[in-house]
Structures are given as structure tokens and as C-alpha cells.
Structure 1
Amino acid sequence: MLRLQDEARVARLRPVAGRFLTLAFDPPWEDESVSEGQRPPYATMSVDALRAMPVPAWGLDEGHIYIHAPGPFLAIAIELAGAWGYDFKTVIGWKKPHFSMGRYFRTIEEFVVFGVRGGLMVRRQDLPNHFAGPVGEHSEKPEAFYDLVRAASFPPYGEGFQRQARPDFTNLYIESPSMAVAAE
């Protein structure tokens, strides 16, 4: 039921106009290999739908991209970075404080694909390729991730599939006006 409500909410969203030096995405991966009870309580997207997003238009000629990916989607996240016009550079690890479930191994880490467009270097060269942080609600990312992005990459920041508003990260999707308002 929650997923159906979220699908209705998502249908009302439209992409913002704007260009950003840094983009962050936590894609709502569609995973048909898990049972209905294991699927997330929100709308998901196929890889083709993700690939079709207007990410190239949001990115400036030089910039950074961060794409969250659980292990089974890591290769796809790297492919998406390329499809969106970014060169894959490295994988960043999120070390979680405790094990979660997994298909082959118990998972204690999630990954973030980091890509670059136009050769833009990071702001600092002393940053590790991992961060530690608590696990929140389903798909919620810890503040430590955003701290790493701020330390490594340049504003303005755009975020797709934002779970929590942050003043320095623009949500890349906004609600469309209702039909009544749009008709006026």
C-alpha cells in the first residue's frame, strides 16, 4: 500500500531546471529478484528509466557525481555514470555499524560510485574512500556521506531521490502544480 501511495506521489514530480557542479543520487533500484515482502516501501525504477533521467542536463561541463549502490547494483551504477557523461574514478564505501541481510554474504558496507566530468579534481586530496555512519530508515543516508561530499566536491549540489531536505542540496524533483492550479 505504501508503495502505491508513493507511486502516485512520484507521478506528480517533475525535474527542476538548473545546473550543478556536484550531483548525488540514491537510485530507487527495481529489484525483481527479491520477494514482494523484501521490496522497499517506495516506488522503484528500472535501469532503463534511470538511464533516461535528465542527468546530463543537470551537470555542468565539469563536475562530480555520486551514485549509491548496494553490491548487486554496483556494476550498473558504474554503467549509469558513463551513460550520464561521467568517467568512473573510484568506489567509496559506507561502513555500517552492524551487519544486515545479504544474498551471499552478510552486508556491513554499501557503496557509492564516484565519477568525474571534464577532469574536475576533488577539493582536498587527504580524504579517505570510505565513511562510517548509522543506518537510518530504509535508504536514508548518514550525514557523514554529505560531509564527505562537501569536503571533496564543489557547490552547487543537486540531489536526486532526496530522503531529507538539506539547505545546500537542491532536490532535483519538485511537485508539479495540481491540475486545478495548472488550468488557471
Structure 2
Amino acid sequence: MLPFASGFWYARSVTNRKDFKMTQPTQPKKFKTILADVPYMKNQTGSYGACKHYNLMSHEEIRNMPIKDIAADNAHLWFWTSNSYIEESYDIIRAWGFEPKSIFTWVKPTLGLGTYLRNSTEHVIFATRGKAPIKFKGQMNWGFFPKQDHSHKPEELFAIIERCSEPDYLELFARRPVSSNKKWAIWGNEVESDIIISNYPVPKYSKNPIDYRKANDEVCEK
């Protein structure tokens, strides 16, 4: 049986398992820049919550992801969060081996939901690991971008990240291919993932995924 962190978000099986074989990891490259849009559960299980669009993960399941195995010693992390999940986001970022440095705010042109104040913003926490200076020091910390379908973040952020951070680039919890002329690896439950993460299998992998499994993992690669 394939290991999985949750019955909520992860694949329970791999199609055509007989066509897969066991392999061992061999010093895979590490990513200098990671973008993450985690499917957190807090305040997302109501009638208008994210649970209506995709499966969710608990805080601990997200926190325990072995991102330290994927990130370079000197790296940047761009971490999407909402107004209600900022405190938990800092905890996850530090558990992943990064230190928060700044916040970029997406200002939306529409009135959002909210129990107290109505949310018309989302945020990207910028964090670093090791010695990873920013490439461009003229980047403002906010942008006014239109809303799209649920959880569809503005494509403009990719250009901002590429301007400020070094490749290689990775998007975690991607829901579609990256709209960029530069090469991005992607990983998620709704795409053909370019990497294999220890104990976090997904339904589909690209032709030659980068293997980050530990030696005792039982994840299969085609």
C-alpha cells in the first residue's frame, strides 16, 4: 500500500501499478525558489469554503512536509496565505526551515467574505533559508490584480518571483502549468508532478520526475 499523509488530499493509489518499479534516490537537485499555496483546512469547510473545490489538509500534515529535503541550503520561499491563516503560516514556514522576511499583498477589486472585516486581500509571505539575497531591490510589496476562478492566484506573481529570486523554480500544490517562459517544476494533486516527495504521493507524475524519497519509502516511480 502506498503511504499517504491524509485521506483528504493525497492519492490513495497509483494507476497501472504493475507498470511502476522501485527506485532509489540519487542526490537530486535542490530548488533555490519555492512557491507554495497550501490547501489548509482552517475556516475552509463551510458552504463557501475551499472544501467545495478541492480536498484539504490539516495544519500538521502541511507542517510535516519534508521541504528541507527539496530546498537548497540558500533558498527563497514564497508562501500564499489568507488573513485568517497568517499565524499558522509563520509556524509552517519555520518548520520547513525558512525565516519570514517580508509580505507581498494582493489587493483585489471585489468585496470578499469575512466574519468581522470583509477580506479583499491575500498575502504572500517571503522567507529565506541560509544566505539568499534578493536579486531586485526595487520590488514593491503590493499589487492590484483581478480575481479569477476560485483559488486562482494572479499570474503576475510569477514574473515578480523570477525578478527577485534565482532558479531552479518549484511550485507546490500547483493546479495548472505555470504561465511563464522560464522553466518551473510543479507538484500537486491536479497536475502531472515533476517531483516525488517522501510520503506524499500524488495521482500523476511527469515522464521523469525528480526523486526525493528516502531510502525506506515505498513510493513508486514509472
- TM-score band, normalised by the shorter chain? 0.7 to 0.9
Picking from 138, 160, 177, the partner of 1:148 is 160
Q: Which has the higher strand share?
A: 1
Residue 21 (structure 1) aligned to one of 29, 32, 44: 32
Contact 2:74 2:129 in 1 (8 A): yes
Give the equivalent residue in structure 2 for 1:3.
Answer: none
Does the CA contact (< 8 Å) of 1:92 and 1:130 recur in 2?
yes
| Closer/same/farther in 2, CA of residues 8 and 72 from structure 1, 3 Å limit | closer
| 1:30 match | 41
Which of the residues 144, 152, 158 maps onto 2:170? 158
Other structure's SS at 2:137 match: coil
Unmatched 5+ residue regions in structure 2?
1-6, 15-24, 194-203, 207-219
Q: Deviations over 1:52-98 (max 9, x none)?
A: 11211110000100110011101111111111110110111011122
2:8 and 2:57 in contact (8 A); partners too: no
Please, which of 118, 121, 134 is the counterpart of residue 109 of structure 1?
121
**In structure 1, distance between residues paired with 2:9 and 2:110:** 34
Q: Flag the 1:119–1:12 CA change in 2: closer, same or farther, 3 A.
A: farther
Which structure has more helix as a fraction of its residues?
1
Q: Give the 5 Å matches for 1:74-85.
A: 74-85=86-97
Q: TM-score, normalised by structure 1?
A: 0.83
Cα distance in structure 2, aligned partners of 1:113 and 1:79: 12
Residue 137 of structure 1 aligns to a residue whose secondary structure is coil
TM-score (structure 2 length as normaliser): 0.70
Q: Which runs of 5+ in 1 are unaligned?
A: 1-5
The structure with the larger Rg is: 2
Corresponding residue number in structure 2 for 1:126: 138
Calculate the aligned-residue CA RMSD, in Å: 2.6
Alignment partners' CA distance in 2, 1:34 and 1:42: 10
- With over 3 angstroms needed to count, the CA separation of the structure-2 counterparts of 1:128 and 1:38, relative to structure 1, is same
**Superposed structure 1 runs of 4+ greater than 6 Å apart:** none
* CA distance in structure 2 between the aligned counterparts of 1:132 and 1:12, rounded to whole angstroms: 41
Task: Count the aligned residue pairs.
Answer: 172
Q: Is the CA contact 2:64–2:95 (under 8 Å) kept in the aligned structure 1?
A: no
- Of all paired residues, the percent bearing the same amino acid is 23
SS at the partner of 2:61? helix
Q: 1:137, CA displacement in angstroms?
A: 1.4
AA aligned opposite 2:64: A
Q: What does residue 68 of structure 2 align with?
A: 56
The correspondence for 2:185, drawn from 148, 160, 170, is 170
